[in-house]
Copies of this chain bind each other. A is one copy, B any other.
Amino acid sequence: MRPRTFIALAFTLFMMSVSALVNASSTAAAEASSDNTLIVEKQRFTLPSFETFNGSTIKQVNVGWEAYGELNDKKDNVILVTHYFSGTSHAAGKYTEKDAQPGYWDAIIGPGKAIDTNKFFVVSVDTLVNLNAYDEHVITTGPASINPDTNKPYGLSFPVVTIRDFVNVQKALLESLGITSLYAVVGPSMGSMQAIDWASAYPDWIPRMISVIGAGESDGWTTAALAHWAMPIKLDSNWNNGNYTKETAPVNGLTASLMLISQHALSPEYFNAQAQSLEFSNLEDAPLNDINTSHSIVNWLTSRAASRAENMDANHLLYLVRACQLFVAGHQQDLKKGLSTIKAKTLFFPATTDLLLMPYLSEHTHAMLEDMGKDTAIDMLSGSLGHLEGVANVQAQQTRIRRFLEEK
């Protein structure tokens, strides 16, 4: 996918024409529409009580989920797809034929595609504290949810949650469907953290794991880098220590945070192509003459971030940052210990131009697994889009993914 096409996808994903939100609790699989696009339904999974990794209890956990393909009788054809930081469970297909764009990995999930829904039952689940809290297609539980004990939003009284908690909610959902192991788990970025944690925490469930633009842990560098994403929100006086409503939300702080995240997840080549199309010039009149104005490239970044902010919640962003900062495979005392329990054959796809989860993170995790004599492989996404290569252009590795899934 070329950058221009990608941005259309990335920034319309959260503003698509709205179809009715279906809260069915059946295992209804997606059906193909007239043009062979999967038509999917968002479903709801509820847990009356959930104990978090840090020992807190959350009542009435609700998350949304989607499925593509058919669950077979043996229930042994399940592939779980775990989503990225600003993503949702909408990994493939469309809600209605009119949708402008399909789910983010539609290029590799579908009938006859690398993750072939003619063979596999593909499941994806909205995480706890999902960023898109106000998206009509997202069901999540987090600081913006109503605390049933107080009838008010949790705000910062919501417990800190971890990647392990996302995994455990997914496991409870799968168990509710009678599933007791997966064929594979696959995810990009924060989804890769979930995939690796699955393989480490529940090794008997996971024979195959694919990590795309991922990391076996947030090292010191990455943990600090994530902290900057939280700063603009905390500085916005509307944030008010997490006590706000949708109407009084810290929109400016959230927008600034999303601007930073967008730049972190893209690349010089992408930005400079955008600058060229804007006819960007250093000596534009407005910024040269007025400190309160900005260059065209900055205005472009701001307006895209402001659009995305509409469906997102600032507190949820802080909790997602924290979940990623706390991440180490298996949630053990160190990476080596976490990786040691993995039984899966693993495959890593870092992106050469990734400035967010840099290739050394995947390379280090892969090398550690190799040193332990485990079945592991690595290959690069070599495009110029930066981190988002793993979201927008993963189909560059579709043959490798298909082969990995076909091998016993």
Cα–Cα distance between A289 and B322 once the two chains are bound (Å):
10
A224 CB within 8 Å of chain B: yes
- With contacts A232-B232, A272-B221, A282-B217 known, is A156 near B291, CB below 8 A? yes
Whole-angstrom distance between the alpha carbons of A392 and B392 in the complex? 39
The answer to whether B235 touches A256 (Cβ under 8 A) is yes
Residue on B with the closest CB to A160?
Answer: B291
Q: Which among B158, B220, B271, B291 is the interface contact of A272 at CB below 8 angstroms?
A: B220
- A263 and B228 within 8 A (CB): yes
Q: Is B325's CB under 8 angstroms from A295's CB?
A: yes
In residues 320-378 of chain A, which contact B (Cβ within 8 Å)?
322, 325-328, 331, 333-334, 355, 358, 360
Interface check A274, CB cutoff 8 A? yes
**A318 adjacent to chain B (CB < 8 Å):** yes
Chain B residues positioned under 8 Å from A23 (CB to CB): none
Chain B residues positioned under 8 Å from A220 (CB to CB) = 271-272, 274-276, 278, 280, 297
Of the candidates B231, B252, B325, B327, which one forms a contact with A260 in the assembled complex, judged by CB atoms under 8 Å apart? B231
Q: How far is the CB of A160 from chain B (nearest CB, A)?
A: 5
Q: Which of B232, B237, B322 is within 8 Å of A291, CB to CB?
A: B322
Q: How far does the alpha carbon of A334 sit from the alpha carbon of B282 in the complex, in Å?
A: 8
Residues of B within 8 A of A287 (CB): 160, 322, 325-326
Contact between B291 and A358, CB atoms less than 8 A apart: no
Whether, in the assembled complex, A112 has its beta carbon less than 8 Å from a beta carbon of chain B, the answer is no
The distance in angstroms between the C-alpha atoms of A297 and B223, with both chains bound, is: 8
- Chain B's nearest CB lies how many Å from the CB of A319? 7
Q: Does A27 contact B (CB under 8 A)?
A: no
Bound: A272/B220 CA distance, A: 5
Residue tally, chain A, CB below 8 Å to B? 65
Complex: how many Å from CA A327 to CA B236? 30
Residue A290 is within 8 A (CB to CB) of chain B in the complex:
yes
Closest Cβ neighbor of A267 among chain B residues: B221
Tell me whether A150 is interfacial, beta carbon within 8 Å.
no
The complex places the Cα of A287 from the Cα of B280 at a distance, in Å, of 42
Chain B residue contacts of A328, Cβ below 8 A: 282-283
**Any chain B CB within 8 A of the CB of A268?**
yes
Tell me the smallest distance from the CB of A405 to a CB of chain B, in Å: 30
* CB-CB nearest in chain B for A327: B282
A204 at the interface (CB under 8 A from B): no
Query: Does A26 reach chain B (CB closer than 8 Å)?
Result: no
With contacts A268-B219, A283-B326, A287-B325 taken as known, whether A224 is within 8 angstroms of B298 at the C-beta atoms is yes
A282 touches B325 (CB 8 A): yes
Q: A160-B290, A287-B325, A325-B287 are in contact. Are A298 and B227 (CB under 8 A)?
A: yes
Q: Is B268 a contact of A360 with CB atoms below 8 Å?
A: yes
Contacting residue for A225 out of B227, B228, B236, B263, CB 8 A? B263
Greatest chain B CB density within 10 A among A162, A253, A259, A322 is at: A322
A256 to B253, CA, bound (A): 13
In the bound complex, how far is the Cα of B280 from the Cα of A298, in angstroms? 35
* Contact indicator per residue, chain A 203-217, by CB within 8 Å of chain B (1) or not (0): 000000000000001
Partner of A333 from the list B53, B225, B281, B327 (CB cut-off 8 Å) is B281
| A218 interfacial by beta-carbon distance below 8 Å | yes
With an 8 A cutoff between CB atoms, is A248 at the interface? no
Q: Is A145 an interface residue (CB 8 A)?
A: no
Is A151 interfacial (CB 8 A cutoff)? no
Indicate whether A34 reaches chain B with its CB closer than 8 angstroms: no
Q: List 18 A-B contacts (CB under 8 A).
A: A54-B289, A156-B292, A160-B287, A160-B289, A219-B275, A220-B297, A221-B272, A224-B297, A224-B301, A227-B298, A227-B301, A228-B256, A232-B235, A235-B252, A237-B237, A282-B328, A287-B326, A291-B318
The 3 A-B pairs of least Cβ separation, nearest first, read A220-B275, A221-B268, A235-B235
